[in-house]
Amino acid sequence: MSLFTAGQEIYQLIEELYPICRSITGDGFRQSLGIMGKHIPLDVHEVPSGTGVLDWTVPREWNIREAYIKNSAGEKIVDFKNSNLHILNYSVPVNGKFRLDELKEHLFSLPDYKDWIPYRTSYYKENWGFCVTHNLLESLADDEYEVVIDSSLENGHLTYAEYLVPGETDDEFLISCHCCHPSLFNDNLSGMGLAIQLAKTLGQRKPRYTYRFLFIPGTIGSITWLAHNRETVSKIKHGLVVACVGDRGKLHYKKSRHGDREIDRAALHVLSNAGQEYGIIDFFPYGYDERQYSSPGFDLAVGCLSRTPHGKFPQYHTSADNLDFISAECLGDSYEKYLQIIDVIEGNKVYRNTHPYGEPQLGRRGLYAAFGGRKDSNAWEMAMLWILNYSDGQHSLLDIAEQSAISFTLIRECAEVLVQHELLVEILM
């Protein structure tokens, strides 16, 4: 499938998911999993409110049906139906009349972006409120307003889903994606779509690693999953958090906690060989769910590949994170880089040169001729020599790619040819 097609498939899926009002619990989350589950068979988990998870507790489930503000003339001046960002996420039910000054304490806007609606939540502190454009806020007359929020905050469940692609080994590669944001395209419908596309692709392969996809609410979701998988989490050898992968900015890779893990080196190799500008960010204990995976007790090698990172674009957590803000092309480009990083990790094996004393005579094996017709025959010859020289049991193919400044793709292709000629054997680590 072409990358363009992949980008368009992602785009179509997230357009379908866009209108749903998601939160960290509730039917919006379930409904979204339902749509995603049409593409890959999701294993959905329901965890009851009140369940202790690590230092946290699963909160009550939130659902919302209706919410509006009417002025004294009976006009609905704010209506949840028009944008599910209008409601302060996790607002408690309200039905009453408020003077303007009372109402204003529950209104949130962006003075710097007067026609954007902000996205706000109050998960762990009971509150109610509306997010509105600053233009609307400024236009409000000194009036009495009727406020209706028909929501419920009750014992229920936290919902999340897993999808597992079994590999040759039990060692796992984690792909984690928060799915709790309402109608925001880049953060994180783009991640949800890309992860589904990746899952579809990997589901058709028999990879070396077992791939575990997590579709979870942010923070509480990863904490819940970690709490329930505490004994087996050490199977995870590599991981990526998928978020903000649809905007037009350049790609940014945020390193894992130790900064020098295989996932970090694979991501750097892919980005530095892509011929595009990119950014590298050292780990910091903030951002998305890598915060939880990288807490010192778990200390997993999980990085995060985004385009413009978390909080670094003005549209972040506003109604301007909309359809126009992302592009199918950028989604496709991000998807390609995820696949390439996975290819590096999959192919990063250690080999031993079976003829380590002097160079093996490549000519009589036809190994110069083999590539003679190729335009890059010189590159192939150099790649062969690098692999043979450094396949001493101390260097993986990625080590050799880094040291030789030859692309991992060429190094791996070439290693396969050398294996066929019995000049190389894999060392099982």
Query: Where on the chain is the footprint of a copy of itself (CB under 8 A)?
Result: 53-56, 124-125, 219, 222-223, 226-227, 230, 257, 284-286, 291-292, 294-299, 353, 355-361, 363-364, 382, 385-386, 388-392, 404
Closest to a copy of itself by CB, 38 vs 355, is 355
364 to each of 104, 361, 380, 381, 414, how far by Cα in Å? 84, 6, 16, 14, 17
320 to each of 114, 325, 428, how far by Cα in Å? 11, 7, 51
Closest to a copy of itself by CB, 144 vs 359, is 359
144 to each of 99, 134, 417, how far by Cα in Å? 5, 19, 79
Closest to a copy of itself by CB, 223 vs 418, is 223
Name which of 325, 326, 345 is nearest 334 in CA terms: 326
Please, which residues have CB within 8 angstroms of residue 363's CB and are 6 or more apart in sequence? Answer: none
DSSP class of 182: S
Question: Min. distance of Cβ 303 from a copy of itself in angstroms?
Answer: 15
Q: How far apart are CA 395 and CA 389, in angstroms?
A: 10
Closest to a copy of itself by CB, 16 vs 299, is 299
Count CB atoms within 10 A of the CB of residue 400.
25
What DSSP assignment string belongs to 343-358? HHHHH--EEEES--SS
Question: Min. distance of Cβ 266 from a copy of itself in angstroms?
Answer: 22
Count CB atoms within 10 A of the CB of residue 118.
19
Q: Are 19 and 183 in contact (CB under 8 A)?
A: yes
Closest to a copy of itself by CB, 18 vs 56, is 56
Closest to a copy of itself by CB, 13 vs 301, is 301
Question: Which residue reads 């996205």 in tokens?
Answer: 119
Question: Min. distance of Cβ 174 from a copy of itself in angstroms?
Answer: 15
Order of strands across the sheet with 392-396? 392-396, 350-353, 424-427
Question: Min. distance of Cβ 346 from a copy of itself in angstroms?
Answer: 25
240 to each of 75, 161, 253, 277, how far by Cα in Å? 47, 17, 10, 20
Question: Min. distance of Cβ 317 from a copy of itself in angstroms?
Answer: 16
Question: Min. distance of Cβ 101 from a copy of itself in angstroms?
Answer: 22
Question: Min. distance of Cβ 98 from a copy of itself in angstroms?
Answer: 25
Question: Min. distance of Cβ 298 from a copy of itself in angstroms?
Answer: 6
Closest to a copy of itself by CB, 53 vs 199, is 53
Closest to a copy of itself by CB, 323 vs 385, is 385
